[in-house]
Amino acid sequence: MQILIDGNPVEVRKDETILSMVKRLGLDTDSLKTRPLAADIAGEIFTLNYIPMREKEQSDAPTTFRMRKAIRKSNGEIKLIRYNETRGKAIYERTMIYVFFLAMRELFPQAKAKVNYAVGAGLDISVDMPDYPFSQEDVETVRAKMREIAEADYPLIRKRLDIDEAIRLFEKDGQEDKVRLLKWRQFTYFDVYTHDDYADYFYGEMCPSTGYAKVFDLQHRNGGLFLLRPSTQDADVATRYVYQPNLSKAFATTDRWADLMHCRCVADLNAMVEDGSVRELIRVNEALHERRFAEIATAIVNRGARAVLIAGPSSSGKTTSANRLATQLRVLGKTPILLSLDDYYIDRKYVKPDENGEIDYEHINMIDVPQFNVDLEALLEGKRVEIPHFDFKTGSRQMLGHFMQLQENAILIIEGLHALNPMLLTPRIDKRLIFRLYVSALATLNLDDHNRIPTTDVRLLRRMMRDYETRGATIERTLGMWESVKRGEQRWIFPYQESADEIMNTTLVYELAVLKKHLYPLLRAVEPTSPCYDEVISTIKFLNYIQDAAVEDEIPPTSILREFVGGNAFYR
């Protein structure tokens, strides 16, 4: 019987893996740019070690072979996943991390390493050594061992265990973080990857073997290292390490908050939901946010700034942040005035497609930068200015008689996609009067010590919730737009985050428990025929580890989370 792999017909042999068929078709390569990493079958992701035709034994009949359920469901069509896809990058990262921990196990079995978060193209990993600090020499030793493991090309075969057996295995191995998390698992089984006496799991599919994870690098840092992923420009070369002090400072602050709140991983959060202490967690977390907004407001006033520019990626809570910052500025005796860059969009009728016939509505050229600078300069000089209004329904900018003037104590708060872009301000604007604020949801709550929760995933959950609640958009519509949203962020937001005077991390350590309560039924309702079904299933599997919390009555109306679940005081 034949199946199709990326449109190529291939005869299926009994007990043969997808990887074997990929090699027979000549689709396997040595380049990460083109090499298949996993397979999409009927909307779900499978390892290339998956066997499409398995032996089926019947008590009254001879042994037979038949296509497995996923292959039948897909009508025999398999799509290969490569590194250029978001899910391909996640598959590669999990495999690379597995290789790292395997190297650490062989070299420093007594050390405790923990993946914290991503900073740029690197993963921040802390290493707690029992006798001495983790050194540059140790990093070089780990790098060499990782390359050795990659060259050895150990197969990554998944083994299914009874959940109690898995818990006993991790207890014996000292992986208490996994033990605590697995106690919340809703299923009676758990899958692990093993090599010799090392067993581990990364929540999602991985490459077929360690030989796929050859593109990486390590950079020493105090108390640990950065594990550098492949470059976005050339996947066959590891990215170059670039220190980002502002972003690192923001993550460090959130780390301190997590220690203060005694909530560093999902198991901690689940325990608080179960015993009811999540309510106190909410109060402390919200108080920390308020204190941070107060600190930023004080920095703005001490600078003598007359305008605050606020930018950040989608679903970071920019609008609520602008309003909460305005409240804190009022406490300091200032008169905040809010202005949106969106009102300076150029009329759609004047926008021309590019050479490909497409229009990039997130390009800075969509903003009438000259007019914005004329108005900003006049406002900073204390002049009275008529501010435009952009009507998104008609795609046109209108003058509706809305005048603005900055009095002596007034501070302009300007929010927009391009607020930190250096092209936004002309040399005529006195930069000493400008304060730049970058707002983002920088998640540091992880599943366990080896499995981080990407910041992008948290923002996507927020976006799905907000789109459904306020725009009537389906989960599928939000997911369908997400790749385009991320491309815009990569081009227009992330390159300028380090230029900010301050970074506000809007993540709330308890928010996943609240978001799950709202989103889980919506995700479960998505049909298997949906083109984004694999992403939905992946999200469901992740949320299965999180206990939902019905604590809306505890969430203040000014909370960042209210921007997404409803009840935001600033939108009334």
pLDDT in tens, 348-379: 888 888 777 777 888 898 999 999 999 999 99
- Please, which residues have CB within 8 angstroms of residue 260's CB and are 6 or more apart in sequence? 284, 288
- Write out the DSSP string of 429-459: S-GGGEEEEEEE-----BSBTTB---HHHHH
The burial class, CB within 10 Å (0-12 / 13-18 / 19+), for 210 is buried
pLDDT in tens, 185-213: 888 889 998 888 888 988 889 999 999 99
Given 49, 82, 115, which residue is the final one in a domain?
A: 82
Spatial separation of the C-alpha atoms in residues 492 and 421, rounded to whole Å = 7
Same domain, 390 and 526: yes
- Please, which residues have CB within 8 angstroms of residue 386's CB and are 6 or more apart in sequence? 399, 401, 402, 403, 404
Given 82, 107, 125, which residue is the final one in a domain?
A: 82
Instruction: With beta carbons less than 8 A apart as the criterion, state whether 177 and 124 touch.
Output: no
Given 82, 116, 145, which residue is the final one in a domain?
A: 82
* 3-class SS string, 233-296: CCCCCECCCCCCHHHHHHHHHHHHHHHHHCCCEHHHHHHHHHHCCHHHHHHHHHHHHHHHHHHH
pLDDT in tens, 321-348: 999 999 999 999 999 999 999 999 999 8
Same domain, 113 and 78: no
The burial class, CB within 10 Å (0-12 / 13-18 / 19+), for 271 is middle
Same domain, 116 and 209: yes
Instruction: With beta carbons less than 8 A apart as the criterion, state whether 145 and 109 touch.
Output: no
List phi, psi (to 5°) of 535.
-70, -40
50: containing domain: 2-82
Same domain, 285 and 227: no
Same domain, 42 and 67: yes
Instruction: With beta carbons less than 8 A apart as the criterion, state whether 122 and 241 touch.
Output: yes
| pLDDT of 157 over the 90 cut | no
pLDDT in tens, 18-72: 999 999 999 999 999 999 999 999 888 999 999 998 876 544 555 556 788 889 8
pLDDT in tens, 238-296: 999 888 999 989 999 999 999 999 999 999 999 999 999 999 999 999 999 999 999 99
- For the chain, the domain total comes to 3
Same domain, 376 and 364: yes
| pLDDT of 89 over the 60 cut | yes
**Eight-state DSSP code of residue 378:** H
Same domain, 410 and 274: yes
Same domain, 250 and 358: yes
Which CATH number fits the domain that encloses residue 196?
A: 3.30.980.10
Q: Which residue has the tokens 């080896």?
A: 450
- Please, which residues have CB within 8 angstroms of residue 383's CB and are 6 or more apart in sequence? 405
pLDDT (0 to 100) of residue 222: 84
H or E element that contains 200: strand 198-200
Same domain, 415 and 551: yes
Same domain, 29 and 128: no
Range from 80-84, 149-153, 346-350 carrying the lowest mean pLDDT: 346-350
Same domain, 57 and 168: no
pLDDT (0 to 100) of residue 63: 52
Spatial separation of the C-alpha atoms in residues 384 and 115, rounded to whole Å = 52
Same domain, 118 and 259: no
Spatial separation of the C-alpha atoms in residues 26 and 21, rounded to whole Å = 9
Q: Token pair for residue 72?
A: 């039948």
Instruction: With beta carbons less than 8 A apart as the criterion, state whether 126 and 114 touch.
Output: yes
More confident residue, 118 or 223: 118
Spatial separation of the C-alpha atoms in residues 146 and 212, rounded to whole Å = 12
> pTM of the prediction?
0.90
- Please, which residues have CB within 8 angstroms of residue 288's CB and are 6 or more apart in sequence? 257, 260, 261
Within 10 angstroms of residue 299's Cβ, the number of other Cβ atoms is 14
